[in-house]
Amino acid sequence: MTHTDETTKEAVKTLEGLISILEDGKLGYTNAAEHVENPAMKTDFLEYARERALFIVELQDEINKLGKSTDTSGGGPLGALHRTWIDIKSSFTGGDTEAIINACVTGEEAAIEKYKKALEENHLEYSQTSIVSKQLNSIQNTLSQIKMRAN
């Protein structure tokens, strides 16, 4: 893909949207860890939050490589569309493990949808597509692990 202002702008917008979803996930998992009783689940949720933080840094690095700053990242339209994780917080207050797991599943499914859309739109360079695909696989694995806990 050739670098034009337009393609760069689209790539940055796509990456910022994914960062916003990841921020939601990081916050969601941190909240889940605070409200779940099971120590093993607490550890897993904190690990998922840490992973989301690493993903954010990876995507911010890609935005910086495009010559754009990530300081102003407000999440863009993708993030604005989706605040599932934030809405989920209310289900945590009761400490109901099943509700927390269901909320995490909902959040991850929404993230996977955004990641797939980002890849389909094809605004990203090969290296970015590679990173986004790797992150998508990891999120899908996380979702599988969480769903196994629900059973």
How much is the average pLDDT of 133-145?
Answer: 97
CA-to-CA distance for 21 and 47, rounded, in angstroms?
17
pTM for this prediction: 0.85
Look up residue 1 and give its two tokens: 């893909």
The DSSP code sequence of 96-112 is -HHHHHHHHHHHHHHHH
Which residue, chain included where needed, has tokens 């050739």?
2
pLDDT tens sequence across 20-74:
999 989 988 998 898 888 999 999 999 999 999 999 999 999 999 998 887 644 4
CA-to-CA distance for 8 and 11, rounded, in angstroms?
5
